[in-house]
Amino acid sequence: MTAVRFDRVTVAYEGADRPALRDVDLVIPEGELVLVVGETGCGKSTLLRCINGLVPHFTGGAMTGRVLVAGRDTRTHPPRELADVVGMVGQDPIAGFVAEVVEDELAYGMECLGVPADTMRRRVEETLDLLGLADLRARPLATLSGGQRQRVAIGAALTSHPRILVLDEPTSALDPGAAEEVLAALQRLVHDLGMTVVLAEHRLERVVQYADQVLVVADGRVQVGEPAAMMAGAPVAPPVVELGRLAGWQPLPLSVRDARRAATGLRARLRALPAPVADPLPVPAVVSGPAAVEARGITAGYPRVPVLRRVGLAAGPGEVLALMGRNGAGKSTLLAVLAGVRAPEAGTVRVGGHDPLALSGRALISTVGLVPQEPADLLYATSVQRELAEADDTADAAPGTAARLLAALAPGIDPSAHPRDSSEGQRLALALAVVLAAAPPVLLLDEPTRGLDYGAKRRLVGLLRQLQAAGHTIVLATHDVELVAEVATRVAVLADGEVVADGAAGDVVRGSPLFAPQVAKILAPEPWLTVGEVERALAVPG
């Protein structure tokens, strides 16, 4: 039975130089998990919004063709008339919240649909258990971490028992363990209840092995097929696929387990080669000197919700320190304290020798820069061009500085577009350009690859290495183990508000079942962490 049908659908937005979708003709069967992949800004979010009727009713633009959802034509059925069959979670979960407490948010959608009270209670309890939210049921949403909010948003969509669930970047803010739990729950819903799940995701290493079909979106056009066949030529691919392409494995593995079976010969070859080396362009050059960032005895949190407990941490010039740990461990709170955004309840902070709370204006932004988990929080202008110009002016930088940084990170963004009309990855690139215009010696990044495709992530890695080589100190909170493998010199793991591990990046992540990158899992016990390291090793003559 067909769940969703696209019948020659084209979507074009006013002022755009090309349609967001072009002549899309496809069928999504009932009871399948369908993965939508493609580069940032290729049209994935537009395709998802067609399924619940946001396109064409609320997002502007013109649509030709038709989309049938459970037999209903979205041209004549707005989102409110599809809410009983389609549940959707967008890239920004906070934008969809209406309640103040987790339990109330889970129940709100059912209240709108007139679900009986006893049924509502049972579904809330089931969803709390399904997504590991039971301990958070009475928590105010404002006190949750980004990953916890994301799970609540997914739960709020699930409690209404939709036949079709549409998810845009559902694991982008989740720690590896939470992502596995959510994906396992989605699999159960697909396999046991016949729910149709359509999700767009940039972190393909987490999802691709579970997909029944893969939709590749490129330049507004859509191709669909079996996952292995589609990933063989897809413009974006996870490390397991890139390693399979490099090694020439057939069939192409999509999971670590399948890749390990294929990698016996590769492990033997690598065992005879010298130890892996980092990408030599540019050469990271750690600069000696006193700590650029130092926190001592930091305690912080919310009323009756402690987050950090006597945390001590330091990072010197030229270091890239990755903060890792489960959602709610205190990573974002620690970055906020280091940036002077919030005051600790106890303890001291020094950034560049200063207390960040004592700095303001240009003195602050030229000392420390923070890109928060929600980059839109930094964006206030009515166009990308004005945002960049104001960043140069605020930082007293040469005109065009922020624009050059943006072009290096995310080329092709329309300068006349409103920043909040851009994709999540484009907003992140813009926020990075705004912060880096002031060239702060200390850069704090909260989930810096959220919404970025693999190409954009490679450009970010190159920029971070350049900053490191110039002696900047970078502290990033991330669940992206692949980014950590590429750029981090140190890793500190937080748990329940305390630092439970702190050491060289390779030593910390290589032996961890949760934090190890895909290449490390595939090639263990050999020491390689990234596809680039393997490629350079195999290219050495002899």
Closest C-alpha to 440, from 365, 504, 491: 365
pLDDT at position 287 is 46
Q: Determine the Cα angle at 332 with ends 326 and 333, to 5°.
A: 110
pLDDT at position 278 is 59
Q: Distance (Å, rounded) from C-alpha 130 to C-alpha 255?
A: 24
pLDDT in tens, 154-213: 999 999 999 999 999 888 888 898 888 889 889 989 999 899 999 999 899 999 999 999
pLDDT at position 276 is 77
The answer to whether the CB of 166 falls within 8 A of the CB of 51 is yes
pLDDT in tens, 496-535: 899 999 999 999 998 788 899 999 999 999 999 999 999 9
Long-range contacts of 460-463, Cβ-Cβ distance < 8 Å, separation of 24 or more? 460/409, 460/432, 461/486, 461/487, 463/405, 463/408, 463/409, 463/432
The answer to whether the CB of 409 falls within 8 A of the CB of 451 is no
Q: Distance (Å, rounded) from C-alpha 514 to C-alpha 241?
A: 19
The token pair at 236 is: 């974006």
pLDDT at position 289 is 56
Q: How many other CB atoms sit within 10 Å of the CB of residue 277?
A: 11
pLDDT at position 277 is 65
pLDDT reading at 254 higher than 50: yes
Closest C-alpha to 61, from 8, 16, 7, 5: 16
Identify each DSSP E strand in 290-417 by its residue range: 293-302, 305-315, 320-324, 346-351, 368-371
Closest C-alpha to 491, from 482, 502, 478: 502
Q: Distance (Å, rounded) from C-alpha 410 to C-alpha 417?
A: 14
pLDDT in tens, 18-45: 899 999 999 999 999 999 999 877 889 8
Distance, CA of 289 to chain centre: 33
Q: Please give the full DSSP string across 261-292, using - where no structure is assigned.
A: HHTHHHHHHHHTSPPP----SSPP-PPPSS-S
Q: Distance (Å, rounded) from C-alpha 455 to C-alpha 441?
A: 26
Closest C-alpha to 378, from 367, 365, 363: 365
* Phi and psi, residue 505, nearest 5°: -55, -50
pLDDT at position 373 is 87
Consecutive H or E run containing 427: helix 424-436
In percent, the amount of the chain with pLDDT more than 70 equals: 97
pTM of the model: 0.88
pLDDT in tens, 272-329: 988 776 555 444 444 455 689 999 999 998 887 889 999 999 999 999 999 999 988 9
Strand, helix or coil for residue 42: coil
CA distances from 332 to 307, 360, 371, 399 (A): 10, 21, 11, 32
The overall average pLDDT reported for the chain is 91
pLDDT at position 110 is 95
Q: Of the ranges 81-85, 391-395, 424-428, which one carries the lowest mean pLDDT score?
A: 424-428
Q: Distance (Å, rounded) from C-alpha 208 to C-alpha 27?
A: 19
Spatial strand order of the sheet with 498-504 comes to 368-371, 442-446, 473-477, 320-324, 490-495, 498-504
The answer to whether the CB of 320 falls within 8 A of the CB of 488 is yes
Mean pLDDT of 96-110: 94
Decide the pairing of beta strands 346-351 and 293-302.
antiparallel
The residues, any chain, with a CB within 8 Å of residue 58's CB and separated by 6 or more, are: 79
Mean pLDDT of 112-125: 94
pLDDT band, residue 412 (cuts 50/70/90): confident
pLDDT band, residue 355 (cuts 50/70/90): very high
pLDDT in tens, 330-342: 999 999 999 999 9
Q: At what angle do helices 401-409 and 454-469 cross, to 10 degrees?
A: 130
Give me the residue label for tokens 């359509």.
198
The DSSP letter of residue 140 is B
Mean pLDDT of 111-117: 93
Q: Distance (Å, rounded) from C-alpha 506 to C-alpha 408?
A: 28
Length of the chain: 542
Q: Distance (Å, rounded) from C-alpha 38 to C-alpha 27?
A: 19
pLDDT reading at 237 higher than 80: yes
- Partners of 7 in the β-ladder: 66
Closest C-alpha to 388, from 356, 367, 410, 364: 410
The token pair at 285 is: 């050059």
The full set of domains in the chain, from first to last, is: 2-236 (3.40.50.300), 293-523 (3.40.50.300)
pLDDT at position 284 is 43
Distance, CA of 179 to chain centre: 11
